Chain A
Amino acid sequence: MCKPAAEIEFWQRKEGSCLHRLDPRVKVVALIGFVALVTTLTSLFSLFLGISFLIFLISIARLDTRKVIKRLSWTVAVSGPLVVLLSLVTPGTPWYKLQVGPLVFTFTLEGVRLAVVLLLRLLNALLALCLLTGTTSFSELMLAFRRLYVPSLVVVLVEFTIRYAAVFVQELRRMFLARRARGFRVGRSLLDRATFLTLSQLVGALLLRSLTRSERIYFAMLARGFNGSPVRPEVYPVARLNKEDLLWGGLILAWALILHLLEMGVWEWNKL
């Protein structure tokens, strides 16, 4: 389970797929570039090609498919209703009429198309994000940001936000367990007075506890010599990018660029 010696190479981890081993700076730049380019595409086919490419990369990286799908379904569940709403309020040629009792909903062709385009763009962005976070450890990612001259304050803020979000969730889980252990049932109606009271107290206590907890965590970090930049980038020699890094980064960006070029020319006629 636990690999010896060579394994703790903190900054250039050698384990995992080639995408795991890719320099985090390259990944950040290439994938952010990819998202920026691909999310301005308008044809369904090219958006679809963007998604296929990302799925291809994800399969190379051997990410846990179930985790990826779980993540996607979350955001789709949130954005789905918005998309439906959008296709209802966009004027254009009627495409489908839905009758619910006395109400008639008209989906227009333009509306549906717009909705699908937005959904595909969203999927592109999310898959790219999954790929980035799935193949890059948190500290690598933060180091990459620093190396890419993102202001230190911003990086520290991001780090703390993420750390404290974890603290928050942990506290919540613990408090729920403690309440359940004393017979509190979750899942009853919020209208039930006792449930409501307990839950509102829980939320209050959660805020307070997270506050003191995060304060103590901060002190514990200070105690171990933390002074605003948890990793001193200057201590770690900046690794030179090798051919493989440049190749992969180039490939990812090139794919997005080609999609753009193709869209400008070839698929112009192929509007849905």
Chain B
Amino acid sequence: MEQVIVVDDLHFKYPDGTWALRGLSFTVTRGKKVALMGHNGAGKSTLLWHLNGLFLPQQGEVRIEGRLITSSTEKWVRTRVGLVFQDPDDQVFSATVKEDVAFGPRNLGLPPGEVEKRVRSALAAVGMLGYQNHPPQSLSYGQKKRIAIAGVLAMEPEIILLDEPLAFLDPAAQENLCLLLEELHRQGKSLLVATHDVDFAASWAEEVLILKEGKLLAHGDPELLLNEDMVREAGLRLPIVAQIFRGLLPEGFTLPRDVQGARRILQAFLK
């Protein structure tokens, strides 16, 4: 299986002297759904900026689809890797919504007809097709967030990085985003989602990466999130469904990590 992201011994220090990343190594396989977790200031956003080539490693290296990110490959990297910023106000700046979504595809040098098609389908995917001519400043934060996501979808990158995509979305929009992520997964995209939402990560992810103070604390399947000691150390918590069943289950049962798992256990008992 092809490794689309390879991070090796990555270090990064901000100009003010803060070490945001201190020797990070991991790999991501093509087509995987990966959740990136960790306390505030753990270095998630900083890591994502590296994977898109916005920051170049000060020590260590990052490879995307086998190619090392350097100042000469960073432009190419940005055509393969899409990054949705944590704060949509950073990302959304054009006069109208459609102009903003068209920004990326145009930078890819696509012809106008193709740009138009992509803008429409990206806006449709986030449920904002009716807002094409609105100025983004007049939208709510959650709506801007969706525009920011559309702006990256329209570039159709192979690898999509999302920084806190669920925050500020209403439940219906969260649900829709999850469906959208599923759809992208079906298309074979590799997804890396930085999130604080344990319940989401436990039910959605195939792999979990947990950072702590700029280092990798754990990397593995989402069962990791059921390990109480690890979760406490990472500044996270157990998924709600796991909290409900904790201490109640007899031998031979493992804690559920999502609603389906919990239902299976309950059904077993109800029989």
Question: Would B112 and A236 count as touching, CB distance under 8 A?
Answer: yes
CA distance A10 to B132 in the complex (A): 12
Question: Would A219 and B107 count as touching, CB distance under 8 A?
Answer: no
A99 within 8 A of B: no
**Which residues from chain A contact B102 at a C-beta distance below 8 Å?**
10
CA distance A139 to B94 in the complex (A): 9
Query: B130 contacts which of A2, A167, A227, A230 (Cβ < 8 Å)?
Result: A2
Question: Would A232 and B120 count as touching, CB distance under 8 A?
Answer: no
Q: How far is the CB of B16 from chain A (nearest CB, A)?
A: 12
A163 within 8 A of B: yes
CA distance A10 to B120 in the complex (A): 13
B85 within 8 A of A: yes
B199 within 8 A of A: no
Q: How far is the CB of A243 from chain B (nearest CB, A)?
A: 23
- Residue of chain B at shortest CB distance from A224: B104
Question: Would B99 and A139 count as touching, CB distance under 8 A?
Answer: yes
Q: A2-B130, A2-B133, A217-B90 are in contact. Are A225 and B108 (CB under 8 A)?
A: yes
B106 within 8 A of A: yes
B111 within 8 A of A: yes
- Residue of chain A at shortest CB distance from B131: A2
A261 within 8 A of B: no
- Residue of chain A at shortest CB distance from B78: A225
Question: Would A225 and B111 count as touching, CB distance under 8 A?
Answer: no
Q: How far is the CB of B160 from chain A (nearest CB, A)?
A: 12
List residues 201-249 of chain A with CB under 8 A from any CB of chain B.
213, 216-217, 219-227, 230-232, 235-236
Question: Would A224 and B95 count as touching, CB distance under 8 A?
Answer: no
**Which residues from chain B contact A232 at a C-beta distance below 8 Å?**
106-107, 109
Question: Would B54 and A225 count as touching, CB distance under 8 A?
Answer: no
A90 within 8 A of B: no
B195 within 8 A of A: no
- Residue of chain A at shortest CB distance from B103: A224
Query: A224 contacts which of B109, B116, B152 (Cβ < 8 Å)?
Result: B152
Q: Quick one: CB contact mask for B123-141 with A, threshold 8 Å, 1 for yes?
A: 0000001111100010000
Question: Would B79 and A8 count as touching, CB distance under 8 A?
Answer: no
Question: Would A8 and B120 count as touching, CB distance under 8 A?
Answer: yes
**Which residues from chain A contact B93 at a C-beta distance below 8 Å?**
163, 166-167, 217, 220-221
Question: Would A231 and B106 count as touching, CB distance under 8 A?
Answer: yes
Q: A8-B120, A216-B90, A225-B75 are in contact. Are A139 and B108 (CB under 8 A)?
A: no
**Which residues from chain A contact B107 at a C-beta distance below 8 Å?**
224-227, 230, 232
Q: Quick one: CB contact mask for A131-146 with B, threshold 8 Å, 1 for yes?
A: 0000001110000000
Q: Quick one: CB contact mask for B79-96 with A, threshold 8 Å, 1 for yes?
A: 100110101011101110
Binding site for A on B (CB under 8 A): 49, 52, 54, 75, 78-79, 82-83, 85, 87, 89-91, 93-95, 98-99, 102-104, 106-112, 115-116, 119-120, 129-133, 137, 151-152, 155
Besides A1-B130, A220-B93, A235-B106, 15 more A-B contacts (Cβ < 8 Å) are: A7-B132, A9-B112, A10-B99, A10-B112, A137-B95, A137-B99, A166-B137, A170-B137, A220-B90, A220-B91, A225-B78, A226-B107, A227-B75, A232-B106, A236-B111
Enumerate 25 A-B pairs (CB-CB under 8 Å) in ascending A order.
A1-B130, A2-B133, A8-B119, A10-B116, A137-B95, A139-B95, A166-B93, A167-B93, A216-B85, A216-B90, A217-B90, A217-B93, A220-B85, A221-B93, A221-B103, A223-B54, A223-B82, A224-B78, A224-B91, A225-B79, A225-B108, A230-B103, A231-B106, A235-B106, A235-B109
Smallest CB-CB A-B distances: 8 pairs: A225-B107, A224-B104, A220-B91, A216-B90, A8-B116, A223-B83, A220-B90, A225-B78
